[in-house]
Amino acid sequence: MNTLATFSLFLLLTLYLVGSSTADYKANIFNNLPGNANLTVHCKSAGSDLGTQTITYLHDFTWTINNILKCDMSWGNVKGNFDIFDPKRDASRCAYGNTCFWRVKEDGLYLFIQEHKRLELQFKWPGKIFA
């Protein structure tokens, strides 16, 4: 193999390895619950406990992540556990600035899907019945 071919192979392999690594993403959670309710969120990622946050009505909080992010959420007597970020599922859906924008509402969690350019319901609150 000549020098140019060796260099080209090395460059292609390097680009593949760099491109296949998981980038840093952000998960942004916005509280849009009724009645000025506070949202309590406790998240964990890759064995790291990211702590508990209380997100007040019409406010948000953002975590920087590069792995699966699981969050326990509650407001009033409503509780749920959600996979907020999974690189395999969300890397392309949350491509807008590498941020997954979540909006938490009374009926569930909505994600802004970049390709569709709109919020879409992803998770309903377990056991919650709506009139």
How many Cβ atoms sit within 10 Å of the Cβ of residue 79?
14
Round the CA-based radius of gyration of the chain to a whole number and report it: 19
Q: Say what the pTM is.
A: 0.78
Please give the structure tokens belonging to residue 1.
Answer: 């193999």
Percentage of the chain modeled with pLDDT above 70? 78
pLDDT at 94: 86
Which CATH class, in words, describes the domain spanning 23-124? mainly beta
What is the residue whose two structure tokens read 């975590």? 63
User: What pLDDT digit, counting tens, does each position of 12-48 carry?
Assistant: 333 333 343 456 899 999 999 999 999 999 999 887 8
CA distance 48 to 124: 26
Please give the structure tokens belonging to residue 65.
Answer: 């992540």
Whether the CA torsion 107, 113, 116, 119 is positive or negative: it is positive
